[in-house]
Amino acid sequence: MGMMVRGSDRLRILQKRKRIDKLKTITVTAMAVLFAIVFLLPIILTFTNSFMSASEISANYGSIFATTDKGGKVFVSKTVNLKLIPDMITLGQYITVLFKSPEYLFKFWNSVIYTVPIVIVQLGIATLASYGFARYDGRLKRAIFFAYIVMMLMPYQVTLVPNFLVSRSLGLYGTAWSILLPGFFSPFAVYLLTKFMKRIPTEVMEAASIDGANEWMIFSRICMPLCKGGLASIAILVFFDYWNMVEQPLILLPDADKHPLSVFLSKINTGEISLAFAVAVIYLVPPLLIFLYGEDYLVEGISYQGGIKG
Amino acid sequence: MTANKRKSLISWLFLLPSLLGVTLFFVAPFFVVIYYSVIDNPIQGNFVGFENFINVWNNAAFKQAGINTLKFSLLAVPLAVLLSLFLAAVMESRIPGKSYFRTFFLSPLMVPTASVVLIWQVLFNYNGIINNVLKFFGSDKIDFLKSDKAQIVIVVLFLWKNLGYNMILFMAALASIPKELMEVAALENASKFQIFWYVKVRFMSSTILFVAIMSLINSFKVFREIYLMTGDYPYSSLYMMQHFMNNTFASLDYQKLSSAAIIMFIVVSALVYVMYQVENFYGKDLEG
């Protein structure tokens, strides 16, 4: 008799706990969903709004952007309507951007010619350097590596002054090189890749060395293949960073024609505000594709960064 | 011995391209920056000691930029650490569709600021969506970007962009905590809160340090959002250090630029050093 009561009690407790667990899962999931909506909404809205017609955009948002333009007299409603789905879906804005207003494509191209070489060359220099750091540790090397970390941590407010001075004295100021060269030698990729390479057991390299491989062979045949994932993740991080550059062009490129789209997009004038969403989406596509294809690499790369001492 | 020396020499050759570039573009000109900060002007080159620093320090614009930037960072960095730790904890618990949530939370990282600025304007403008909602609830409209509330807006945008990145760092750290440690704690009747606070957080102290440092560094980049939304001359509470630098670059005042950069260098180094020491003290007995 007593045993049975205890048994049913236990069952009840178990059921109760299950209920609480279920409730907890629901609450946590609800919170996650809420956060996800907040995180995604700006991106989704940019996409959907890019399919609106010019008149719909100016009717919806005119009162916002008209305030910045004192000259134009545009009839707009006083209230702003945020719409998830356009009244009429049109590709008109894209057609205008791609075929009728070449200046946006020029600026897009500027972004490409700054970002792509920086990603490739920074990685190339960094793979060499990180092998140098990871192999044959020494007191001097450790001190230099620490200096790299300090440089990596410095914000643009500090590093742009030296970059500016060099650009001026080498006559690069105002040219693409003033953006490219500091990007090539940025210590970020060196730092991260060194962390990747230090995880390769020294025994692997020593074994190759005993088998008669020289340093270049160890570097190119053993280290590089083992660091593929690391290289991919760093390439993604560097790409995102430079695709979004704002500070450097503002200071190093006085000629606005040379600005990348990441700066120019905000200068879009009120008359063309309907194009802005389409341009924003076009600018978002390359990082979006890279993100969707390379998310696992990206996560791995970020995970490796943690622990500055490591 | 000689073979080893030769090998070590070769490893320096691998370092050479990077060392040369870094020296030319960062280290050497930084010494020039130091030199400029202690002379009266580049042509005469008279040594003036700390005069440039005192001038910059007393400059009203510099003060404003410094205070705004510091205020922003002191608010944004702790929030970024706490909220991303919370998100990582959410991701640790049993929820369906975890990998989707990871993608969602991380996605702002890839979005170029220029691409979402329009939406931020639609939301935070005086006639914008948030004010429409406020009005609906009978509250007064706020001109977010032209009031003292502007800093709050910027903190929100900063968190939006950076939480996912920090969350990944915390998720990696949580995954690396040895299971035995938690089992022992559970056996000793530690409550869930105790396990979280005394075991997990303590074990992650070096990651917390890293997240705090990275958030601090990224907090200086919030200039992008501000500049792209409000241009060269934002409301005074949004006037950041980078605005000050831009204006000083425009006037080509080398002394002011150099001293400001060095002050910034010292402040950032000091903040990082303090955080490092705190972590060292807090997580000392856990270092393996």
pLDDT value for A290: 95
**Confidence bin at A256 (pLDDT 50/70/90):** confident
Whether residues A165 and B87 touch (CB distance < 8 A) is answered with: no
B223 interfacial to chain A (CB closer than 8 Å): yes
Q: Where are the alpha helices (DSSP H) in B176-204?
A: 179-187, 192-194, 202-203
**Three state DSSP letters for chain A:** CHHHHHHHHHHHHHHHHHHHHHHHHHHHHHHHHHHHHHHHHHHHHHHHHCCCCHHHHHHHHHHHHHHHCCCCCCCCCCCCCCCCCCCCCCCHHHHHHHHHCHHHHHHHHHHHHHHHHHHHHHHHHHHHHHHHHHCCCCHHHHHHHHHHHHHHHCCHHHHHHHHHHHHHHCCCCCCCHHHHHHHHCCHHHHHHHHHHHHCCCHHHHHHHHHCCCCHHHHHHHHHHHHCHHHHHHHHHHHHHHHHCCCHHHHHHCCCHHHCCHHHHHHHCCHHHHHHHHHHHHHHHHHHHHHHHHHHHHHHHHHHHHCCCCC
Query: Quick check: A80 pLDDT over 70?
Result: no
Query: A299–B223: do the CB atoms touch at under 8 Å?
Result: no
Question: Comparing A17-31, A40-54, B101-115, B119-133, which segment has the lowest mean pLDDT?
Answer: B119-133
- Yes or no, beta carbons of A288 and B19 under 8 Å apart: no
With an 8 Å Cβ cutoff, is A48 touching chain B?
Answer: no
Average pLDDT, chain B: 87
- The per-residue pLDDT of chain A, averaged, comes to 84
Alpha-carbon distances of A11 from A4, A16, A17, rounded to whole Å:
11, 8, 10
- List the one residue out of A189, A186, A121 whose CA is nearest residue A156: A186
ipTM of this complex prediction, to 2 decimal places? 0.89
**Cα–Cα nearest to B69, from B226, B180, B178:** B226
Interface of A with B in 128-167 (CB under 8 A): 128-129, 131-133, 135-136, 138, 141, 144, 147-148, 150-151, 153-166
Judged by a CB distance cut-off of 8 A, whether residue B14 touches chain A is yes
Tell me what the mean pLDDT of segment B14-33 comes to.
Answer: 93
Predicted pLDDT at A5: 56
- For residue B261, the distance in angstroms to the closest alpha carbon of chain A comes to 5
| Cβ neighbours around A7 below 10 Å, total | 10
Nearest CA in chain B to A130: B15
Token representation of residue B51: 């005069």
Residues on chain A touching B21 (C-beta within 8 angstroms): 125, 181, 184-185
Segment A202-212 shows an average pLDDT of: 84
Q: What is the pLDDT of residue A306?
A: 67
List phi, psi (to 5°) of A154: -75, 130
d(CA B131, CA B146): 13
Least confident of B106-115, B150-159, B179-188, B232-241: B179-188
Residue B12 at interface with chain A, using a CB cutoff of 8 Å: yes
**pLDDT bucket at A308, cuts 50 / 70 / 90:** very low
Picking from B13, B26, B207 by the largest number of A CB atoms within 10 A of its own CB, the best residue to mutate is B26
Locate the chain B residue with the closest alpha carbon to A35: B105
**Model confidence pLDDT, tens digit, residues B189-240:** 878 778 877 788 888 888 898 899 889 989 998 998 898 888 888 888 889 9
Contacts of A262 in chain B (CB under 8 A): 112-114
Which DSSP state fits B144? G
Q: What is the pLDDT of residue A270?
A: 61
In three-state secondary structure terms, B263 is helix
Q: Fill in the DSSP letter of residue B141.
A: P
Amino acid A94: pLDDT: 84
State the pTM of this model. Answer: 0.89
Where does the pLDDT of residue A242 fall: very low under 50, low under 70, confident under 90, or very high at 90 and above?
very high
**Is the Cβ of B24 closer than 8 Å to some Cβ of chain A?**
yes
Of residues B6 and A47, more confidence is placed in A47
Q: What residue ranges in B60-174 does DSSP mark as E strands?
A: none
**pLDDT score for B18:** 94
Q: Is B10 on the interface with A (CB under 8 A)?
A: yes
Position with higher pLDDT, B253 vs A59: B253
Q: What is the pLDDT of residue A101?
A: 78
Amino acid sitting at position B210: F
